[in-house]
Amino acid sequence: MSPAVPAITPRDTWIDGRGGRLFARLWSPAAPASDVPLILFHDSLGSVELWRDFPAALAAQSGRTVVAYDRLGFGRSDARRGPLPLDFIAAEADGGFADLRRQLAIGRFALFGHSVGGGMAVNCAARCGDDCVALVTVSAQAFVEARTVQGIEAARTLFADPVQVERLRRYHGDKAEWVLAAWIDSWLHPDFAAWSLRPVLPQVKCPLLAIHGADDEYGSPRHPELIGRLAGGPAQVELMADTRHLPHRERAGEVLARVAGFLQGLA
């Protein structure tokens, strides 16, 4: 649970995406310190609702409007037909993210991506140049390693239990099975084994903060180290001890303070 913060009433909206309608939610502080919003990218099983109280706390502590959206096929957004294309991480920059920016008339922005959302945020930052003023990745995978595969294989075993799939339905409804398959089938596909952020990271010129749990079950500390080393702009790497794949839940106060401090003064 995030630390207590002043109440912020979120505003829900719908984005007319090229592949279908997307659900988005905005949290705006009463007296913003910056007019540059922070856009969140959820993980492989995530949704707007699964961010829980973190966006409101982040908006209050950073003084920025925080925007989260359900990618096509997830949460309250429209269903996506067919398997997820294997270029889905890079493709989000020209997909739902571009649709969100266009409809909400977002010019300059900062990005925050968790897990696979971190890889998407990296691609969006690289694509958008000076419009992106800052980038935060949390538990982002930069390539496919043995720990990643092992973690997903363990999750596949866990989700063989119908009770676990039913928990996904709370957030994704009838799309739950598609969401699960999109995660497992993509990351374990043999043609995805060579995927990496290495080619795109040098194109990220904005300041970057990479946060990672030392005990992350889906990626070793090699991931944030590579992100920090190959980024084309100034980069900070924060490895959090005794932390797994959800630093923003496990150590919410620390993550909020680090992100707010990092963003301060970056427009």
Over 70: is that where the pLDDT of 3 sits? no
pLDDT, residue 5, reads 56
Place of tokens 């991480």: 89
Return d(Cα 110, Cα 105) in angstroms, integer. Answer: 14
Q: What is the largest CA-CA distance in the chain?
A: 49
For residue 92, give the DSSP letter: G
Q: Is 20 left (phi over 0), alpha (psi -120 to 50) or beta?
A: left
Task: Tell me how far the alpha carbon of residue 136 is from its chain's centroid.
Answer: 9
Q: What average pLDDT is seen over the chain?
A: 96
Give the per-residue pLDDT at 267.
73
Distance CA(168)–CA(39), nearest Å, equals 23
Q: Give the pLDDT confidence of 19-64 residue by residue, as tens digits.
A: 999 999 999 999 899 999 999 999 999 999 999 999 999 999 999 9
Rounded CA Rg of the chain: 17
- Which residue, 67, 212, 69, 206, is CA-closest to 138? 212
What gap in Å lies between CA 13 and CA 18, rounded to an integer? 16
Residue corresponding to tokens 């900070």: 236
pLDDT at 1: 46
Sign of the torsion angle spanned by Cα atoms 115, 120, 126, 130: negative
What percentage of the chain has pLDDT greater than the value 70? 98
pLDDT at 10 over 90: yes
Q: Report in angstroms the alpha-carbon separations of 82 from 103, 174, 215.
A: 26, 14, 34
pLDDT digits (tens, 9 = 90+) for 161-192: 999 999 999 999 999 999 999 999 999 999 99
The mean per-residue pLDDT over the stretch 214-226 comes to: 98
Decide: pTM greater than 0.85: yes
Instruction: Report residue 7's pLDDT band, with 50, 70 and 90 as the boundaries.
Output: confident
Tokens encoding 129: 């140049």
CATH for 11-263, options being 3.30.470.20, 3.40.50.1820, 3.60.21.10, 1.10.10.10: 3.40.50.1820
Residue 142's nearest CA partner among 213, 73, 86, 218 is 218
pLDDT higher than threshold 70 for residue 9:
yes
Task: Strands of 103-206 (E only): list them.
Answer: 109-114, 132-138
The 10s digit of each residue's pLDDT in 110-140 is 999 999 999 999 999 999 999 999 999 999 9
Task: Report yes or no: 176 and 169 within 8 Å, Cβ to Cβ.
Answer: yes
Mean pLDDT of 216-241: 98
- pLDDT of 4 > 70? The answer is no
| 170 or 81, greater pLDDT | 170
**What is the number of alpha carbons within 13 Å of residue 140 lying toward its C-beta?**
33
Cα(first)–Cα(last) distance of the chain, in Å? 28
Q: Residue 6's pLDDT is what?
A: 59
pLDDT above 70 (res 2): no
Residue carrying structure tokens 């925050």: 112
The answer to whether 34 touches 64, Cβ cutoff 8 Å, is: yes
